[in-house]
Structure 1
Amino acid sequence: MRPPDKPRGRGVDEETFDAFYAASVGRLIGQLYAMTGDLAEAQDVVQEAFVRAWERRAQLDLDGGAPEAWVRTVAWRLAVSRWRRMRTALSFARRQGPPATVPPPEPHHVLLVQALRGIPEAQRRAVVLHHLCDLTVEQVAAETDSPVGTVKSHLSRGRASLARLLADTELDPRTGLGPGTGLGPGSGPDQGTGSATDPGPGTAKRPEVPHV
Structure 2
Amino acid sequence: MTTRDEVENLIARVGLGDRVAFSALYDATSAKLFGVCLRILNDRAEAEDALQEVFVKIWQKADTYAANGYSPMTWLITLARNLAIDRLRMRKAGSVDIDEVYDLADSGPTPEAAALASSERKQIDGCLDELKPDRADAVRGAYLDGYSYNELAARYDVPLNTMRTWLRRSLINLKDCLTR
Band the TM-score falls in, shorter-chain normalisation:
0.3 to 0.5
- Judging by fraction of residues, say which structure has more helix: 2
Structure 1 length-normalised TM: 0.30
> More relative contact order in 1 or in 2 (CA 8 Å, sep 6+)?
1
**Highest CA radius of gyration, 1 or 2?**
2
